[in-house]
Amino acid sequence: ETGVTQSPTHLIKTRGQQVTLRCSSQSGHNTVSWYQQALGQGPQFIFQYYREEENGRGNFPPRFSGLQFPNYSSELNVNALELDDSALYLCASSLGGGLEQFFGPGTRLTVL
Amino acid sequence: QQQVKQSPQSLIVQKGGIPIINCAYENTAFDYFPWYQQFPGKGPALLIAIRPDVSEKKEGRFTISFNKSAKQFSLHIMDSQPGDSATYFCAASWNSNYQLIWGAGTKLIIKP
């Protein structure tokens, strides 16, 4: 069974740029959730995708957007990067939008 | 009302001791309470979870105690080991939702 994988591991961008982060869900899982974890804090829910449709969204602006593909992998896109977007971005997969979520190792984004 | 308050922020325990981490919530609609363990540079890993219809759940050395009337739950780690040194997060959600609300985390150090 393959776990959740994320790419890239680290990324450095400058303010105003755009970034795309990628996630492959655990084998058999059809739901992907994205979280932002600032240094020293708990994760904050960004949104969830279930069967290629957005299935809920946290308190994040529209410049945070996502996609889910037919193989259930997912992308997180952030436009017009701000310094406060610097964080660890976590992807979690689950089955059927379920509560038991399994996390990838995250992508560390630094915005300069 | 959506918050989950976690304490202490950090904890140092001798090997073999029983660290206890506490969480409190306000939203009585919460009905799923997981604990996650996170090592540096890794994503959170689900340790154990409880529903409010039971007051205690044990899995190996990890025990969740749940007090529905006080709206509090706690994690106990029996026979703690240096390998348990990590950051622990409590979280909460409700059955009709998918969004995990996280505590701020507890950095646990187990001294040899």
> pLDDT tens across A35-70, in order?
999 988 999 999 999 889 998 899 999 999 999 999
Interchain CB contact of B42 with A (< 8 Å): yes
The mean pLDDT of B13-38, rounded to a whole number, is: 95
Size of interface A-B (CB pairs under 8 A): 59
State which residue of chain B sits closest to A58, comparing Cα positions.
Answer: B99
Distance CA B98, CA A96 (A): 10
pLDDT at B98: 73
**pLDDT number for residue A73:** 95
pLDDT at A100: 82
- pLDDT computed for residue B1 by the predictor: 59
**What residues of B are in contact with residue A100 (Cβ under 8 Å)?**
34, 46, 49
CA distance B102 to chain A (A): 6
A42 reaches B (C-beta below 8 A)? yes
* A63 phi, psi to nearest 5 deg: -70, -10
Which residues of A8-111 form beta strands (DSSP E)? Answer: 10-13, 19-24, 31-37, 44-50, 53-57, 64-68, 74-78, 87-94, 102-103, 107-111
Nearest by CB to residue B99, choosing from A56, A90, A103, is: A56
- State the smallest CA–CA distance between residue B98 and chain A in angstroms: 6
CB contact under 8 A, A105 and B45: no
